[in-house]
Structure 1
Amino acid sequence: MKKYLIVGLGNIGDDYKNTRHNIGFKILDHLAEQENLIFETQKLGDIATYKLKGRTLILLKPSTYMNLSGKAVLYWLTKENIPLENVLVITDDLNLPFGSIRLKTKGSDGGHNGLKDIQDKLSTINYNRFRFGISDAFSKGKQIDYVLGEWTEEETKNLKERLDKSTELIKSYALAGINNTMNTFNGK
């Protein structure tokens, strides 16, 4: 049986629940809700297991806070014996317009501390990442306030459809593979 580790990045706690930075958590929560999955608190994160047509997707929301995400990713990869090519990390991206989707097989951390830590702990930039655009609609020096800020009313209205699209992407990733999924979803 093929196993996948799907990691949604975010920060734990109510203060962060509806922030842009927590889109990784939000996408996994949306998938769990759709499929009636329950997250359980385990070592270094909340885990839900999703069975999909002979595949097992282990959904991970690290409890290490964003900047130490790599510790949880490495632990669960090792514990579940999942090959690196079966990891998908979901993160927010300031360089993409709101709601746009970009799937990549490798790349720099782009100044994202969560990705920086994952790269550091895995000793590679070659891991799949799903970047969800949160746009860069903030003034100079306000980046932290922006990413840790809550969605606007307009964004919230459009989020449901984007979350649906994001869960479709995760299923496609497990069933059709990274390349087919990139062709289907990138830029959509």
Structure 2
Amino acid sequence: MFIIAGLGNPDKQYEGTRHNVGFDVIDRLADKYNISVDARKHRAFVGKGIIEGQKVILAKPQTYMNLSGESIRSLVDYYKIAEEHELIVIYDDINLGVGQLRIREKGSAGGHNGIKNIIACLGTQVFPRIRVGVGEKPSRYDLADYVLGHFSKAERELMDEGYDNAVSAVGMIISGRIGDAMSEFNRKKKEEK
């Protein structure tokens, strides 16, 4: 069984913000695989289903971003998941262009407070993650204001493609093809001329 956790913040005011792209990818997975993510357990909205022949739990922690690890620790313990193989975390990254992906098998938090908390709560940084680019913060912006801001219409189109790619990447990772997912999606997009 796999736990696929998308990070974000609860409450309507955060819907569609840069910091909630993890929730948005979970919603895409839920739609594609007909999984209802509406049960409230382990301080998260969760749903059980099948992706690529594997049992999965889709999770949207409701602890607010900076405490995501508390919910994920509870899920991992309850479902007896081996983090290093069967937990996939999806979250926003301001160091990637809008809609670009970066997939890793393990790694540091890279300054992301949600991931910092997950690593602290799990006691390991060995778990696959899919970072979804939300674009670099403009120099005049406060970081919190930027990540809690909404996408422009043009950015939303790029994000739609990014979300679809993230859904494909999840399928590949669950199928034991994380190397293929990294090869396919970790490339920088060519600049439009």
Superposition TM-score, scaled by structure 2 size: 0.91
> Which of 16, 19, 34 is the aligned partner of 1:18?
16
2:55 alignment partner in structure 1: 56
1:185 alignment partner in structure 2: 185
DSSP 3-state at the match of 1:15: helix
1-structure distance, mates of 2:154, 2:141 = 23
1:27 alignment partner in structure 2: 25
Deviations 1:105-126 (A, max 9, x none): 1211111110010010011222
Q: 1:140 to 1:106 in 2, by over 3 A?
A: farther
DSSP 3-state at the match of 1:176: coil
1-structure distance, mates of 2:130, 2:64 = 19
Give 4+ residue runs of structure 1 displaced > 3 Å after superposition: none
Deviations 1:64-120 (A, max 9, x none): 110100011111111011111211110100111111110011211111110010010
| 1:37 equivalent in alignment to 2:35 | yes
Q: How many residues align?
A: 186
Give identity over the alignment, percent: 35
- Unpaired segments of 5 or more residues in structure 1? none
Q: CA deviation at 1:141?
A: 5.0
1-structure distance, mates of 2:76, 2:124 = 14
For the aligned residues, what is the CA RMSD?
A: 1.4
1:124 alignment partner in structure 2: 124
Superposition TM-score, scaled by structure 1 size: 0.93
Q: CA deviation at 1:182?
A: 1.6
| 1:138 equivalent in alignment to 2:167 | no
- Unpaired segments of 5 or more residues in structure 2? 189-193
Q: CA deviation at 1:57?
A: 1.4
**Contact 2:25-2:166 at 8 Å conserved across structures:** yes
